[in-house]
Amino acid sequence: MHCFCGNKEEFELCCGAIIAGKTEAKTPEKLMRSRYSAYVKGDARYLFQSAVKKNRYAEDIALIEEFNNAIKWLGLKVLFAKEDVVAFKAFYKDAEGIKILHEESTFVQEDGLWRYKDGILYNTKIQRNDPCPCGSGKKYKKCCA
């Protein structure tokens, strides 16, 4: 099975190895991709641990799990990755339909490892003529809209 992050590698050799602690994320983009895969897998523990220490709140674990139980992740599109910033769109489906989590994330090195610091969220909607995030290959207006 290809990795959830969109890379063609097997999950266990890509983000799975990072999430399991067998290897480290060598770049902010690798960390962001592993965090997306952790969301897909529902691994709130990894999401907690991969954030900077000052932004870790124990209650976040339960909130992440609650959110993940209410949605289905559909895919990830990395818009750009430069130095310590990665912009992406993550597509998901909830009871109201398909939505986009569009964020520009900032990463820092802490204790020699890349960690998620914070992000800027954008209010982005799927346009009618965009490819449908469900992966059908159709335009959104002819598929899930």
The position carrying tokens 């569009």 is 102
90-104: average pLDDT: 93
107-136: average pLDDT: 92
Q: How far apart (Å, rounded) are the C-alpha atoms in residues 138 and 94?
A: 20
Handedness of CA 18, 23, 27, 28 (dihedral sign): positive
Percent of the chain with pLDDT over 70: 99
The position carrying tokens 């090195």 is 109
* Interval 35-79: pLDDT, tens: 999 999 999 999 999 999 999 988 989 999 999 999 999 999 999
Residue 5 confidence (pLDDT): 96
Eight-class DSSP state of 132:
P
Q: How far apart (Å, rounded) are the C-alpha atoms in residues 107 and 96?
A: 31
For residue 118, what are the β-bridge partners? 106
Percent of the chain with pLDDT over 90: 79
Residue 145 confidence (pLDDT): 77
Residue 115 confidence (pLDDT): 98
DSSP reduced 3-state for 61: helix
Residue 144 confidence (pLDDT): 83
136-144: average pLDDT: 87
Residue 133 confidence (pLDDT): 86
Q: Judge if pTM exceeds 0.85.
A: yes
Using the predicted structure, report yes or no on whether residue 1 has a pLDDT greater than 80: no
79-107: average pLDDT: 95
Structure tokens given for 13: 């050799």
